[in-house]
């Protein structure tokens, strides 16, 4: 003989899971909106990256040349 309580319990579990799925959908939607509004894409970041890497390369190269010049002068 089936237990009526277990049938009601199953319906409750399904309702809770449906509510959880809806909550997850809402959270994913919010995260997508945040990503579109607040974060920079790779394409947008590429010029900044090139500028910074170029500047660091020039500064690092000039320091290396200055140290090399000091070493060669001292020898």
For residues 52 and 69, membership in a common domain is answered with: yes
For residues 2 and 34, membership in a common domain is answered with: yes
pLDDT digits (tens, 9 = 90+) for 34-68: 988 888 888 889 999 999 999 999 999 999 999 99
Structural domain boundaries enclosing 48 = 40-75
The model carries a pTM of 0.51
For residues 45 and 69, membership in a common domain is answered with: yes
Q: Cα–Cα distances in Å, from 60 out to 6, 19, 54, 66, 67?
A: 72, 57, 10, 10, 11
Residues in the chain: 75
For residues 3 and 34, membership in a common domain is answered with: yes
For residues 5 and 29, membership in a common domain is answered with: yes
């Amino acid at each position: 003989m089936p237990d009526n309580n277990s049938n009601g319990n199953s319906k409750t579990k399904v309702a809770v899971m449906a509510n959880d799925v809806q909550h997850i959908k809402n959270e994913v939607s919010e995260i997508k909106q945040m990503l579109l509004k607040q974060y920079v894409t790779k394409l947008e970041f590429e010029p900044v990256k090139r500028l910074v890497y170029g500047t660091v390369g020039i500064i690092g190269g000039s320091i290396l040349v200055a140290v090399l010049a000091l070493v060669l002068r001292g020898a």
